[in-house]
Structure formats: C-alpha cells, structure tokens
Amino acid sequence: MPPLTFSPEVTAARAAGAPLVALESTIITHGMPYPQNLQMAQTVEDDIRAAGAVPATIAIMDGQIHIGLDAANLARLAQTQDALKLSRADLAVALATGRVGATTVAATMICAALAGIEVFATGGIGGVHRGAEQSFDISADLQELAQTRVTVVAAGAKAILDLPKTLEVLETLGVPVIAYGQDSLPAFWSRESDLKAPLRLDTPAQIAASHLMRARLGVPGGQLVANPIPAEAEISAAVLAPMITRAIAEAEAQGIAAKDVTPFLLQRIYDLTEGASLPANIALVRNNARLAAQIAQALGTARLA
C-alpha cells in the first residue's frame, strides 16, 4: 500500500463523494518566493472551494504522501528552504528517506492517481527545452501525461520552452492537447501563440466526457487542457521574448542543468520583469483552478447520469 495521508478536509470530501482537485507543490517551493507562495497557495485553494470542489495540495513530508495539506503543513512547506523538487524518478527515494519534497506535475499526477483524484490544476507544465537537440532536456511531465489518467489544467507551456517541439513530443506520446475555448495554443503569459492547438473543447462537460471516454477505450494516460490566461493579466510575448533569450543564455553560461533549469529560468524572468511575472502567474493558476473545479464537478455529474 502506498503511504497516503489525507487531510481532514479531503477525508470528508472522499466520504461525501465530493469533487476533488489536486494541486502541485513545486510551484510553492520552487516557483515563487515566501510569503507570496503561501498566499498564492491559500488563495488558489479558496478559489476551488468557491467553485464547488475540494482542493488537495500534494506534497511529501515525514515519509508520507500528503493528499491535502492543513494550514500548519501548508505553512511548513512554504517555508522549507531545502525542499526537494520531486519528479517520477525521485518520489520513492524522498519517501523512503523522510525528506520534505514538493511534487512537480509528473509526481503530482502519480500521487493524485494513487488517491483516486482525476483532475489537477497547475500553472504550466514542463516540456521540451530550447536546444533539447543538444541537451536532451525534455521534462518527465510529458511522459507522465502519456501514462497516468489525470486531466491536467495548465495555461499552456511557457515560452522558455520550445513550444513546437513540445507539441510534437505530446503528439508522439498520444497526449490530447486541448485548448479551452479557442483555436490557438495558449502560451502561459500570453493568451495566444502562433501555434494551432491540436484539439479544442468549449465546456467543462465536454472535457469530462472525453476523460471518461478515454478510460472506456482503455487508452492509458491523461489529457492536457490549455486554458488561456485572463486578458487583464496577460504579458505580451514581445515584452518577454528578449528576457527569455537572456535568461537562457545566462543558464547556459552558468552551467545550469537538469532539474535546476526550470526554477532558474522562472526566477530570472521574475527578476527581469521586476516582479511583473508574479501577478500574471498567480492570475493564471487561479483561472486554471476554477476551470479544474468545474471539470471535477462535471465528472461527478456524468458518472451519475
């Protein structure tokens, strides 16, 4: 049996059959500074509650997979300086050795599936990095979407990545990439990119029905729902492009590699935008949380029908 510990709120939701939405924790420990990270995590949880579902923030502490963090555990995680960043490869080691670890998209999907949670909201997924033909840096998030049955709501992938290559790998892996309510692939800080999304759906009910149909077909893996950032929070791609180029050059010059690359680039974008990337980041995570809550409710409704 996996070492799962459910928070009181999640335990009650499971008993009542209430819709649950998983949330990752790397965004808390490696994505934003304290105390904004804690405020963001609390706000996003409240958004899910207000939208009629129950949040389950996932992290590793004391040899347990925590499904839902109470106030004390959430505060503890947000202040842990040396939390590990855990992907599929790291999860078992962190549990076996009692470390505090934050889950990436890949690890959160694994833990959510173990807990029977089918919908997960995040900011952006990992993907194929620029220059991957040299570095081979392709996030384990992509493989996870191919094998673990969780619908992930993100704002697309960040322009720090190579978006065309990320789409190609997702296609190869058989992952449905579904733009929500528009034809173009959202690009995280920007609503639109110049890439057409492979698939488009317009309602939470359609997304829930597709999730259930994939299971009926016996096809493994999840769905990636790409939800555009709210218009008022958008940062234009033109403003960001030179900053991204500079951040990537710095990462190369400093020999940043492996799992340090994404946190390094996000931190540099935060610095170079003089903090303007942070409110945008928070706005899009909240928007994804609300959509995920609607999808979780639609799944419940479809199952009863």
Q: Which residues are catalytic?
A: 24, 158
Q: Shortest Cβ distance from residue 166 to Mn ion (Å)?
A: 12
- Which single residue is written with the structure tokens 């946190």? 263
> Smaller CB distance to ligand PSU: residue 14 or 259?
259
> Smaller CB distance to ligand PSU: residue 75 or 140?
140
Does the footprint of ligand PSU cover residue 228 (CB under 6 A)?
A: no
Q: Round to whole Å and give the CA distance between 125 and 142.
A: 8
Ramachandran angles phi, psi of 6, nearest 5°: -100, 140
> Smaller CB distance to ligand PSU: residue 140 or 272?
140
**Site mask for ligand PSU (CB under 6 A), range 241-280, x = bound:** ------------------x--x---x--------------
Dihedral, CA of residue 89, residue 94, residue 100 and residue 106, to nearest 10? 20
Q: Round to whole Å and give the CA distance between 233 and 245.
A: 22
- Please report, as residue ranges, which positions from 131 to 150 form the binding site for ligand PSU (by CB under 6 A): 139-141
Structure tokens at 105: 């998209």
> Smaller CB distance to ligand PSU: residue 9 or 141?
141
CA triple 23-290-175, angle to 5 deg: 65
SS3 for 202?
A: coil
- Which single residue is written with the structure tokens 């649950």? 20
Does the footprint of ligand PSU cover residue 288 (CB under 6 A)?
A: no
Which of residues 22, 27, 84, 285 is near ligand PSU by CB under 6 A?
27
**Site mask for ligand PSU (CB under 6 A), range 77-106, x = bound:** ----------x----------------xx-
Q: Shortest Cβ distance from residue 263 to ligand PSU (Å)?
A: 7
SS3 sequence, 124-177?
Answer: CECCEECCHHHHCCECHHHHHHHHCCCEEEECEECCCECHHHHHHHHHHHCCCE
The residues of the shown chain that bind ligand PSU, judged by CB under 6 A, are: 24, 26-27, 31, 87, 104-105, 123-126, 139-141, 158, 259, 262, 266
The residues of the shown chain that bind Mn ion, judged by CB under 5 A, are: 137
